[in-house]
Amino acid sequence: MRMDTFCGSVLLIVNVASRCVFTSQYKQLQELYSKYRNQGFTILGFPCNQFGDQEPGSETEIQSFCSLTYDVTFPMFSKIEVNGASGDPIFVYLKKQAKGFLGSEAIKWNFTKFLVGRDGQVLGRYAPTKNPKSLSKSIEKAIMSL
């Protein structure tokens, strides 16, 4: 799947994992996607195994888990790394645009979320503990921005 497919969309980009304490957020992410997808919004899931070996499965196993357990229909990408020398370019960009706690660029855990506007600008970075549904107002504001 190519990123240019999503040009002009409001995005919520999330590093995800199937065996994380926050895995149940898939349900809320899917609810957000279902609610706003017809308004130019999408969620992009990027499986990551850099935190406590919480995403050890193959791409097929990950897709199956997400689909069968949480009815995930938003786009899921191949497993990536978000930190370090092998960090995926999209996460390198996101981390530079929206730093974390105390100005750190490093992602601390799975289910870190980045809200990106239609113009590609990062509008916000949210900790793994942040409830996805609590982002509704920020998503709506981004959707309404032209």
The CATH code for residues 3-144 is 3.40.30.10
Listed by start position, the domains of the chain span 3-144
The structure's pTM equals: 0.95
Q: Which residues are catalytic?
A: 20
* Tens digits of pLDDT across the chain (146 residues): 666 788 899 999 999 999 999 999 999 999 999 999 999 999 999 999 999 999 999 999 999 999 999 999 999 999 999 999 999 999 999 999 998 877 889 999 999 999 999 999 999 999 999 999 999 999 999 999 86
CA 37/CA 3 separation, integer angstroms: 16
Show Cβ contacts of residue 53 under 8 Å, excluding neighbours closer than 6 positions.
19
Residue appearing with tokens 């105390």: 102
CA 101/CA 82 separation, integer angstroms: 16
